[in-house]
Amino acid sequence: MISSSPRNFYDVLQVDPAATPDQLKAAYKRMVMIWHPDRNRHNPSGAAERLQLINEAYGTLRDAELRALHDETLRNASLTARNDNRNATSGLMTQFLAWLSGEKSS
C-alpha cells in the first residue's frame, strides 16, 4: 500500500520536532555514519537510498523556511487524517445503526 501522507523528516533523523540546529547536525552525522553505503556492503543500494533520504531530511530541516513549510505540511496531513477517520467512523456507525433498526443500507 502506498502512503499518501508526507514523509516525516524528524523521524528520518530520529530527532524531536523541537530539535535545535546543533541537535539536527549531530543526528545527521550519526545517521550518515550508520547508513553510508561503504558501511552497508550487504545492501549498498538500500543504504544509498536511505542516505539520499537522510540528506533530503537534513537539507529541509536545517533551513528555517523549509522547516516551517515541512511542519505545516505535517500538521495539515494530521488534520486531514483525523477528519478522514471521523468520517469513516461516522459512516460505519450510520450503517451499523441502520442494520440494528432493520433498515437496508445501500
Predicted confidence band of residue 102 (pLDDT cuts 50, 70, 90): confident
Write down the pLDDT at residue 104.
Answer: 55
Q: Domains in the chain, start-ordered, CATH in brackets?
A: 9-100 (1.10.287.110)
pTM, two decimals, is: 0.69
Q: Is the pLDDT of residue 64 over 50?
A: yes
Write down the pLDDT at residue 86.
Answer: 61
Predicted confidence band of residue 33 (pLDDT cuts 50, 70, 90): very high
DSSP states along the chain: ----SPP-HHHHHT--TT--HHHHHHHHHHHHHHH-GGG-TTSHHHHHHHHHHHHHHHHHHTSHHHHHHHHHHHHHHHHHHHHHHHHHHHHHHHHHHHHHTTPPP-
In the block, residue with C-alpha cell 552497508: 40
Write down the pLDDT at residue 23.
Answer: 98
